[in-house]
Amino acid sequence: MTEAATAKPSASQLGARVLVVDDEQTVQQLLVRLLVAAGYDVRTANNGEEALRTLERETVNLIVTDLVMPKADGMALLQSLRERAIDVPVVMITGAPTTESAMHAVRYRADAYLTKPVDPSALIAAVGNALHLRSVANLHREAYEQSNTENARDSQLRTLTTNFTNALQAIYMVYQPIVSWSRKQAYGYEALVRSTEKSLPHPGALFEAAERLDRTSDLGSEIRARCGAPWHGLTSDYHLFVNLHSQDLLDETLYEENAPLAPFASRVVLELTERAALDDVSDIGSRIARLRTLGYRIAVDDIGAGYSGLNSLATVQPDFVKLDISLVRGLDKDAVRRRLVQLLTQLCNDLKISVVAEGVETVAERDALIDLGIDLLQGYLFARPAAPFVAPVF
């Protein structure tokens, strides 16, 4: 083998890490010089066993290995690589070529089978070609995997669309009372959506699907169409609390005089959740004014759970504020929560905003809220959501 001028690797191959495996030090050193001169980052091993230990420590892009060596020869190394699913390119060099060894090399996917003495140009060409072919194969595999991923994503989207459409047709409403403790009677009922579609088993999944499919307006319209049905012809002055997603404010059908809730708008409280991005509605002030003109009142829901803090009070200027369950839970045992609720209640009283405490589950929580001056309460302590109109327990 003689040193000679060789072709340089492509720009994408420069710095590729090559492991040279040969027990003859003079041959190993020559191979290293040739490959380093060509622009490769070279590691060495004296036999197949040492090469496998090297691969446990670091990643290489290609292996150049002698065929005949003690302690695991080149063929044993190649076979071990493929059995371990190590798909690194291998260029094999031998001074004693045989048909049998060539067939084994093909069987275990050697990328080149060169005989000694190896011409330096042939070696560098074989290394460059093997790296190029592997790079092309990797690109094809990545493209295939990406295509499969996109197909899977499309399939999931189609399935979600079908499930959501089925869920819309299968939704029904349940109602949970909001009680006035001082009057010991129901002040109103919050309408809560449910669906018999098992693939979207709870309201959170239903709303997530609506947002992902950009169909929040479809869901909102269906909820408003269904939740008001029990109110038609109702002689009681119960208030109906209805949840609105911020995107529902952009639905012009909400403002129509013949909308499902319009006939009894004066008894309807539209709840805007603080969890939703109210800032996405640029003209929110004018839209809320339109709703008030129609007779609706406005609540900010989940105060204490979202990220907008008190800004939603200034933006919406609601008639009601509903304290989130995270503030109510364990309030009787937590001085910090109790103080926060006290301050929020005082602020709302100053602003003529009615406060509703959600998620009341224990007598101790109820009593702590009453002591803080909150009269409107909602939670499992009084009644679970049910068909209209379940009577609360005091």
Query: Which tens digits make up the pLDDT trace of 63-120?
Result: 999 998 888 888 999 989 888 878 899 999 998 888 888 888 888 888 899 988 888 9
Query: What's the average model confidence in pLDDT over 274-300?
Result: 85
Is the model more confident about 235 or about 178? 178
Which residues are paired to 175 by β-bridges? 191, 386
| Residue 292: pLDDT over 80 | yes
Single out the residue of 84, 91, 43 nearest to residue 67, CA to CA: 91
pLDDT given at position 306 = 53
pLDDT given at position 377 = 98
Single out the residue of 367, 375, 265, 365 nearest to residue 325, CA to CA: 365
| Residue 246: pLDDT over 70 | yes
Please tell me whether the overall predicted TM-score, pTM, comes out greater than 0.95 for this model.
no
| Residue 226: pLDDT over 60 | yes
| Residue 391: pLDDT over 90 | yes
Query: What's the average model confidence in pLDDT over 32-44?
Result: 92
166 membership: H or E segment, kind and range? helix 120-169
The domain segmentation of the chain, as residue ranges, is 17-141, 170-378
| Residue 1: pLDDT over 50 | no
pLDDT tens per residue, range 345-368: 999 999 999 999 999 999 999 999
For 354, other C-beta atoms within 10 Å of its C-beta total 18
For 251, other C-beta atoms within 10 Å of its C-beta total 18
Map tokens 């609540």 to a residue: 299
pLDDT tens per residue, range 142-187: 777 777 777 777 888 899 999 999 999 999 999 999 999 999 999 9
Instruction: Specify the fold of 170-378.
Output: TIM Barrel (3.20.20)
* Sheet arrangement for strand 41-45: 41-45, 17-21, 62-66, 90-94, 112-115
Q: Are residues 269 and 294 in contact, defined by beta-carbon separation less than 8 angstroms?
A: no
| 141 confidence band (pLDDT: 50, 70, 90) | confident
| Residue 276: pLDDT over 90 | no
Query: What's the average model confidence in pLDDT over 223-234?
Result: 87
pLDDT given at position 87 = 81
pLDDT tens per residue, range 369-388: 999 999 999 999 999 999 98
pLDDT given at position 135 = 81
The DSSP letter of residue 107 is H
Mean residue pLDDT across the chain: 88
Is the model more confident about 149 or about 231? 231
pLDDT given at position 143 = 74
> For 17-141, CATH number?
3.40.50.2300
Most confident of 46-50, 233-237, 300-304: 46-50
| 12 confidence band (pLDDT: 50, 70, 90) | low
| Residue 8: pLDDT over 60 | no
pLDDT given at position 274 = 56
**Own/partner pairs for 142-150, CB < 8 Å, 24+ apart?**
none
pLDDT given at position 3 = 40
pLDDT given at position 311 = 74
pLDDT given at position 142 = 75
Beta-carbon contacts of 123 under 8 Å, excluding residues fewer than 6 positions away, are 6, 31, 34, 64, 91, 93, 114
Look at the alpha carbons of 100, 106, 110, 115 in this order and tell me if their dihedral is positive or negative.
positive
Is the model more confident about 7 or about 44? 44
